[in-house]
Structure 1
Amino acid sequence: MNQEHPVVPAAVSLPEITVKAVVLSVILAAVLAAANAYLGLFAGMTVSASIPAAVASMAILRLFRQSNILENNIVQTAASSGEALAAGVIFTIPALLLVGYWGDFDYWQTTVIATVGGLLGVLFTIPLRRALIVTARLRFPEGVATAEVLKVSAGAHREQGREPSDDFKALATAAMIGGAAKFCESGLRLWTESIEAAAQIGRTVLYAGINLSPALLAVGFIIGLQTSVVVFVGGVIGWLVLMPAYGLLNGLPADLTGLEAARTIWSHHIRYVGIGAMLIGGLWTLTKLREPVWRSLRTLHDTYRASRVAHINQHTDRTDRTDRDASLPWIVAPFVLSLFPMAWLYSRVVDSLSIGLVMTVVMALAAFLFSSVAAYMAGLVGSSSNPVSGVTIATIMLAALLLVLFMGSGHPAGPAAALVIGAVVCCAAAMGGDNLQDLKTGHLVGATPWKQQIMQVVGVVTGALVLVPVLSLLHAKYGIGEPTVAHPHPLSAPQATLMASLTRSVFGAGLPWPLVGLGAAFGGLVIFMDGKLEARGSTFRLPVLAVALGMYLPLKLSAAIVFGGAVAALAKRAASSGEETSRSGLLFSAGLITGEALMGILLAMPIALAALIPGLSADPFTLFDTPPIAGWPGLAVIALVGILLYRVATRTGRPERGNRHR
């Protein structure tokens, strides 16, 4: 028996999909998808936007005379779907530029890939809702947290003296701070994006640096001290252990010293060690998913049998409003229709109808499998801990090896073909975990599941339509992947760069396999150490993909992230309520990320306008070609932001005396 009592009982019907809810859903889905795309390309990580979307929805809907908690839930459902789709897109689609298949982002092909992948993620997880949420009652931590925030609008937490407008003010204030910092650094160029230094010692070089982005500080706060430390450990291994060791063994690159020597050694050699560690981490993740895979398949089988029995018995539909999913025809028909554009696209990529059809079958099976697994894993450990990168690595490697059998290792379209399969699967897996989190939230507040599922599709379509212009603007302004003369400090896009390297290696371009093998050995060592920690029951763990990501990222990024994790740990220790600290700090951090990301996109827009309007400057706000005093003002800004984040988390984290949390 289900013992969870929703805020809105099944017998009560409130407006859910209203005009204002749909309009607000589309706006927030577009904004959050754009923000998450920027963050993922910049830092190699994305964060859940469900709680910020819920807070923004509550604050805006309260301006209307009539609104309710189910409308709020509908808005956050669509908005979070848009940001989840962004993760799937930015992990894979930029790789098509990096392998040379595109010169710039192709709007319609990218939109089709994102729409189909997101749609499959929605469709494949609909049959799992009742089994995982109602029957198995898995945790779905982000879904539960979002439901608690939504209950504010229903008055459930008013006794704590909190109002939705207070949360929205914190979110908006942080967004203005993050946007202002980005404008000063990238728009006016008052300071550099980071402080870096390298000292030559004999045959080698030692490096230190920190990025001055408030968004990275916010990422560290959101993921917490433990995860941020693990990522930083990976960075220390790559930059402070392996890079000096490489210099001692091989000397510095010719005619390069100091900072340039350090960057060259890392980009040409050490990052391939990170690739090896991520590859072994992806394969290890796949082996650990055997049990969830089996349980997901059993759950789907049992759900299908139950629906068949109900159909055969021809019972009158007495299903409660809060337990009605989209019907089987509404799952099967869109699934079948989605296969046609993908078969057409795949056939164009490889110039072969038969191979295109095989690719479509492989894509559909992998999307079904991994979106189901992602849904199950989200129930256990949450969407933020879902191994989407590992799943995508495994999918792309499998697809690439299959394509080698059909086309040979020298086929020029091989890397692009494998990446397009991986892109759809990555979008489906990213959506799978997010969908079930949102449906868990709806279950707790009393929403109608099939209406949520409609809005998940709305969020997918919105995200798919806006992501290509965002990616094009970011590529034009900052560059993506490898540094160039025009873009010396590009958005690193670590996952997309990794996917491009892997596919090129399978189809003949090759990788420095000794370095990749070294990374695999490091990954195996991390897996062994993490197993020992698990056996001892330690609360500190070493997830291999997090360590590998740290090895693959520039150290200056992980240094800023661990700073945010330290702020989170200090705030949690100082505040009397860890739950409220987490929420207050989360909202402020989400505001910092959103503000910086949107400002970064806005600063790229003059580049597009300059191509249309002769004489218009691509950088109209620039005051200095070279920042006058390097990054020291930025260091002061990020320190002040850290202090402010700490104060917000601890001050608003204390409930009034005598109140207790549920």
Structure 2
Amino acid sequence: MQSESLTIRSLVLGALLATLLGAANAYLGLYAGLTVSASIPAAVLGMGLLRMLGGAPAREVNLVQTAASSGEALAAGVIFTFPALLMIHYWSQVDPWSLTVIALGGGLLGILASIPLRRLLVNDAALPFPEGRATAEVVRLSEAPETASMRHLLAGALGAALFKVLQGGVGLWPGAWKGAAWWGGWMGAGGVALSPALLGVGLFVGIRTAGLIFAGGFLGWGIGIPLLARGELPPMGDPSGLAMDLWSTQIRYIGVGAMLIGGLWSLLVLVRPLAALMLSSSTDRSDGSDGGDLPSPVLGIMALMALGGLALASLGVVGSPTLAILLTVILALAGFLFSAVASYMAGLLGSSHNPVSGMTIATILLSALLLRLLMGVDAAGGAGAVLLVGAGVCCAAALAGDNIQDLKAGALLGATPWRQQTAQIVGVISGSLVMAPVLILLEQAYGFGPIDAAHPHALPAPQAGLMAALATGVFNGDLPWDMILMGIGCGAAVIVVDQILAWQGRGFRVPVLAVAVGIYLPIDLSAAILLGGILGAVIGAGANPQGPGLLRAAGWITGEALAGIALAAWVVSGGTKALDAPPGGNIAWVWGVIALFALTYPVLRSRRADSA
């Protein structure tokens, strides 16, 4: 393997891809409430770009993907929380300074937390690091003869971008097929989103996780909503409007309860292994042959920058130096705690399966209850302050999990930790600078939250909607605690089932957070994710990370997201929006189905060719 160097071109390419993939993941999270790891597509893109510039040594490709995936991970922390400030009307528009400072500060905290955890987790043979190992295998392709990886990723991206332009720009078909009806006094609703990006998400998370997400959706939409709707309206009432209302005001809080118990359970489960690792590290001193971490003075400067920026941003919200310091302390402690959990989960399941949203929900609820005691029920800025704490913690946890995964890939490739950590800092800085412009653009073009007359194409932003409802609900005292407690009960039942399966040594597990995600997602999104999981199972995508399945899926996610951002820029600059009523009428969704099949056909054909 060629020698490693921290070149200017690797940092520049990493920064550019961090902004590109960060913007794409921001769009995906606002649309679907889920994000996926960009390590593999970043490695493929970095490989292709470096080859065009004269050569692609594996370790240099790894530095590019490390920086790029750090920018992408930051997007999760931003879009899960900051749009909530608009939803509660604390912000009339995105505050770019506060967003950038908190995103950067939280991201730097995540990097700082991952440094002491590196030798604890990366060298732990019990942690499989599935995505880290897959990334290392893809990076090794850079030193092999020319492959079709880049072609598959670009073909998927261009196809998905064209699909999005025809759907969201020209308006040839709607974004989803939806239907609802009354049957003998019972109401039922269903649908499926027409989205290459959601198919790609399903391929990435796999059939098991996709199936569990859909199972959660069926619990909410197939059982919960019909039970709640019975007797609410006579059969001639509007079933689709009622279904959405029941989901937004009651059902999704069951998901909140399940997410809360899932996040707390993750903490309890990980206390013992993390403590054991830390105790073992006290007697295991590395000889430093791996090149070591960044020097202490650099880490000290990072800590001062992160905590100082977060304290100033908090002061701008609460106006009290004492409370600003308290918020910063809460953020730092929760950030390091949840960064440790996120890092361990990345080693266990991969960063795409990290329970970052569950940790953020726990942070927001506990912080809101604490600040309510200190500031009063009607305290001005209380909900906004809590959301900013949650945003910083979410950014830190997302970065820590992604960084540990990349450090594992680097360890397998013989990379130097401090060089990767430098690339991570470059990625975080690049990602934090692009997040505010992207959110401003999407908010002006589409809006966030429920669809209404003023925002007919609003991005659902389901995670941010939950955070907003929790923060304001604690201060206003109007949270539907009965639904939250029901969700806690459902989550506890799922945890019991999962533990029974674990004790029996079964290969199949039931992660509570996957079920909880499905409960609070609109059913058309979880159905599309399930279809992607089925497609991945058919083509065997999980067994071949370098194959056309996952690479096309990465292209679908990136292409649709970037096309959505481009359409937003078109609208904001004065262009017309997509037609609200496609020219083909209600049957126009058939054209979308045909277009989706055209996108997936090359993947199915390649699978048949492999089988032959």
Which band: TM-score by shorter chain? over 0.9
* Residue aligned with 2:189, SS: strand
Q: How far, CA to CA, are the matches of 1:231 and 1:582 in structure 2?
A: 25
Matched, 1:124 2:113: yes
1:642 pairs with 2:597: no
**Matching residue's letter, 1:128:** L
Q: How does 1:349-388 map to 2 (within 5 A)?
A: 349-388=317-356
- The 1:351–1:652 alpha-carbon spacing in structure 2 relative to 1, beyond 3 Å, is farther
- Quote how far apart the aligned CAs of 1:75 are: 0.5
Deviations 1:607-658 (A, max 9, x none): 3323xxxxxx343xx467544233111122223333333334554688xxxx
Change (3 A) 1:605 1:302: farther
**CA separation of 1:265/1:202 partners in 2, compared to 1, >3 Å: closer, same or farther?**
farther
1:190·1:624 contact (CA, 8 Å) conserved in 2? no
Output the CA distance in 2 between the equivalents of 1:231 and 1:478.
26
The answer to whether the Cα contact below 8 Å between 2:229 and 2:242 also exists between their aligned partners in 1 is no
Match of 1:423 among 391, 400, 406: 391
Alignment match, 1:47: 36
Q: 1:607 and 1:585 mapped to 2: Cα distance? A: 33
Residue 107 of structure 1 is matched in structure 2 by: 96
Residue type of the alignment partner of 1:628: G
Distance change >3 Å, CA 486–CA 88, structure 1 → 2: same
Is the contact made by 2:368 and 2:382 (CA closer than 8 Å) also made in structure 1? yes
- The 5 Å alignment of 1:432-511 reads 432-511=400-479
SS in 1 for 2:181: strand
The residue aligned with 2:503 is 535
- 2:262 aligns with 281
User: Which residue of 1 is the match for residue 482 of structure 2?
Assistant: 514
Which residue of the partner structure matches residue 80 of structure 1? 69
Residue identity matched to 2:595: V
Counterpart of 1:216 (choices 198, 223, 228) is 198
What per-residue deviation string (whole Å, max 9, x for no partner) do you get for residues 299-320 of structure 1?
77668xx59xxxxxxxxxx844
2:87 aligned partner: 98
For the residues of structure 2 that align with 1:66 and 1:219, how far apart are their CA atoms?
31
Structure 2 counterpart of 1:534, one-letter code: A
Q: Relative to structure 2, which stretch is displaced further, 375-384 or 99-108? A: 375-384
Alignment of 1:230-249 (within 5 A): 230-249=212-231
Aligned length: 610
For 1:291 and 1:175, the matched residues in 2 are separated by: 43
Q: Could you say which residue in structure 2 is the equivalent of 1:659? A: none
**CA distance in structure 2 between the aligned counterparts of 1:519 and 1:582, rounded to whole angstroms:** 39
- Equivalent position amino acid for 1:274 in 2: G
Q: CA-to-partner distance for each residue in 1:373-421, whole Å, 9 max, x for gaps?
A: 2222222222122221121111112211221121112213111111111
Q: Is the 8 A contact 1:292 1:377 kept in 2?
A: no
Q: What does 1:545-556 align with in structure 2 at a 5 Å threshold?
A: 545-556=513-524
Q: Which one-letter code corresponds to 2:197 in the other structure?
A: A
What is the match of residue 4 of structure 1? Answer: none
Greater alpha carbon shift after TM alignment, 89-98 vs 377-386: 377-386
2:562 is aligned to 598
Partner of 2:57: 68
- Residue 367 of structure 2 corresponds to which residue in structure 1? 399
Identify the residue that residue 658 of structure 1 maps to in structure 2.
none
Q: CA deviation at 1:561?
A: 0.8
Q: Is the 8 A contact 2:498 2:509 kept in 1?
A: yes
- 1:584 deviates by 2.6
| Residue of structure 2 aligned with 1:265, choices 246, 257, 281 | 246
Cα deviation code 1:125-171 (max 9, x no counterpart): 1122233224657432211111111111223xx5xxxx34x110110
- 1:567-614 deviation line (CA, Å, top 9, x unaligned): 111112xx9xx633664311110001100000000000023323xxxx
Task: Tell me, in whole angstroms, the C-alpha distance in 2 between the residues paired with 1:386 and 1:555.
Answer: 22
Any conservation in 2 of the 1:195–1:210 contact (CA below 8 Å)? Answer: yes
1:562 has 2:518 as partner: no
Aligned CA distance change for structure 1 residues 561 and 582 (closer, same or farther; 3 Å): farther
Hey, what's the Cα distance between the residues in 2 that align with 1:121 and 1:105?
Answer: 24
> Counterparts of 1:147-162 in structure 2 under 5 Å?
147-155=136-144, 158=145
CA separation in 2, counterparts of 1:435 and 1:269?
Answer: 36
Shift of 1:282: 2.6
Distance 1:648 1:479, change over 3 A: farther
CA distance in 2, matches of 1:286, 1:495: 20
The structure 2 residue matched to 1:628, chosen from 584, 593, 604, is 584
CA distance in 2, matches of 1:411, 1:528: 39
Distance 1:283 1:134 in 2: 26
CA RMSD after TM alignment: 2.3
**Cα displacement string for residues 47-89 of structure 1 (whole angstroms, at most 9, x for unaligned residues):** 1111111111111111223442221111001001011111111
Between the aligned partners of 1:517 and 1:627, the Cα distance in structure 2 is 46
CA contact (8 A) 2:50 2:61 kept: yes
Q: Does 1:411 align with 2:379?
A: yes
Name the residue aligned to 1:34. Answer: 23
Opposite residue 89 of structure 1, the aligned amino acid is: V
Aligned twin of 1:173? 155
Q: Which moved more, 1:199-208 or 1:344-353?
A: 199-208
Note the residue ranges of structure 2 that are not aligned, 5 or more in a row. none
CA distance in structure 2 between the partners assigned to 1:513 and 1:138 by the alignment: 37
CA contact (8 A) 1:192 1:627 kept: no
| Equivalent pair of 1:204/1:252 in contact (CA under 8 Å) | no
Which amino acid in structure 2 is aligned with residue 579 of structure 1? A
Matched, 1:190 2:177: no
Q: Could you say what secondary structure the match of 1:127 adopts?
A: helix
**1: distance between equivalents of 2:353 and 2:87?**
27
Separation in 2, partners of 1:123, 1:367: 10
- Could you tell me which amino acid in structure 2 is paired with residue 637 of structure 1? A
Structure-1 separation of matches of 2:500 and 2:101: 44
Partner of 2:78: 89
In the alignment, which residue of structure 2 is the partner of 1:3? none
Distance in 1 separating the partners of 2:59 and 2:242: 57
Matched residue type, 2:164? K
- Pair 1:524 & 2:492 matched: yes
What TM-score does the superposition give when structure 1 sets the normalisation length? 0.87
- 8 Å CA contact retained: 2:106, 2:306: no
Residues 415 and 363 of structure 1, relative CA distance in 2, 3 Å threshold: same
The code of the aligned residue for 2:150 comes to: F
| Alpha-carbon distance in structure 1 between the residues aligned to 2:534 and 2:455 | 32
**Distance across 2 between alignment mates of 1:137 and 1:531:** 19
TM-score, normalising length: structure 2 = 0.94
Change (3 A) 1:184 1:94: same
- The structure-2 alpha-carbon separation of the partners of 1:541 and 1:627, relative to structure 1 and needing over 3 Å to count, comes to farther
Letter in 1 for 2:6: I
Identity across matched positions, percent = 47
Counterpart CA distance in 2 for 1:171 and 1:144 is 20
Structure 1 residue 532: Cα displacement: 2.2
Q: Contact conserved, 2:156 with 2:599, CA < 8 A, in 1?
A: no
Q: Quick check: 499-508 or 521-530, which moved more?
A: 521-530
2:110 and 2:339 in contact (8 A); partners too? yes
Distance 1:64-1:499 versus aligned 2 partners, 3 A rule: same
